[in-house]
Structure 1
Amino acid sequence: MYQFSYAEIMEDDVTDAKDRERQALTKSLELLDAAQNDSGQYRLTVEALYYTRRVWVRFIEDLKHPENQLPNELRANLISIAIWILKECERIRKRESSNFQGIIDVTTIIRDGLK
């Protein structure tokens, strides 16, 4: 029978959570890239924006949670980034912008930082 310490279990949970976050961001990036390279089919754009929005809203919810252990300044910075991404998604949805690359670049930086 195996016995794990609380610290080991928590470390596994953090590792699993980071892996899920990386996967969600990777899928968002794939969808955004497909939408950016789309030739007139707005369906891909809607799908990419919807998924990306869901991911970042969920991140905001997690960052605002009192049990989140990230430093307050980092949490605030990530929330600010998330709000910017949500605003850019809305601008693209309204066809006021086509700044997929900005969202892709920022999301890539955040994803790559989850190591």
Structure 2
Amino acid sequence: MYRFSYSEILADAPETGRARERAAFDQALTLLRDAEAGRLVGPERTAAVGRVQDLWNALIADLLDPGNGLPEALRDDLVSIGAWTIREAGEALRTPGRSLAALIAVNASIRDGLR
């Protein structure tokens, strides 16, 4: 799964932690793009959308951890983005024909910001 505590990331070089996070976003984005293109349907589409929810659930838990060393304002912004992502993914699960473009764009921006 994608669960890395902030302390685990700090134990590594910062570049390694960011690389892990980018890899998790890359995997989720690949699945979302495949679902958006119609290559994943039914349960596979559900799993793809669920993957981005799982990613953000893990990230939010880590962001809310008192030991997280990111600046408070940044943590708050990321939690807000994560909450939106989870809600939007929920709407996509309830409406199978719903576009995933917004989810893809937001998560790609976050992934790109990890560089």
Number of residue pairs matched by the alignment: 106
Q: Which whole-Å CA distance do the structure 2 matches of 1:40 and 1:20 have between them?
A: 25
Q: Which whole-Å CA distance do the structure 2 matches of 1:79 and 1:27 have between them?
A: 20
1:50 equivalent to 2:38? Answer: no
Post-superposition offset of 1:13: 3.7
Aligned-residue Cα RMSD (Å) equals 1.8
State the partner residue of 2:3.
none
Give unpaired runs (5+ residues) of structure 2: 1-9
> Deviation string for 1:27-54 (max 9, x for gaps)?
0000000111116822221111121111
Q: Which whole-Å CA distance do the structure 2 matches of 1:113 and 1:11 have between them?
A: 21
Q: 1:36 to 1:64 in 2, by over 3 A?
A: same
Q: 1:52 to 1:27 in 2, by over 3 A?
A: same
Tell me if structure 1 keeps the 8 A contact 2:34–2:40: no
State the partner residue of 1:77.
77
State the partner residue of 1:24.
24
State the partner residue of 2:67.
67
Q: Which whole-Å CA distance do the structure 2 matches of 1:79 and 1:40 have between them?
A: 28
Q: Which whole-Å CA distance do the structure 1 matches of 2:96 and 2:109 have between them?
A: 25
* Correspondence list, 1:25-40, <5 A: 25-38=25-38
Q: Which whole-Å CA distance do the structure 2 matches of 1:30 and 1:40 have between them?
A: 11
- The residue type equivalent to 1:83 in the other structure is A
State the partner residue of 1:110.
110
State the partner residue of 1:90.
90
Q: Which whole-Å CA distance do the structure 1 matches of 2:41 and 2:51 have between them?
A: 17
Q: Which whole-Å CA distance do the structure 1 matches of 2:84 and 2:111 have between them?
A: 16
Could you say which structure has the larger radius of gyration?
Answer: 1
Q: Which whole-Å CA distance do the structure 1 matches of 2:70 and 2:40 have between them?
A: 41
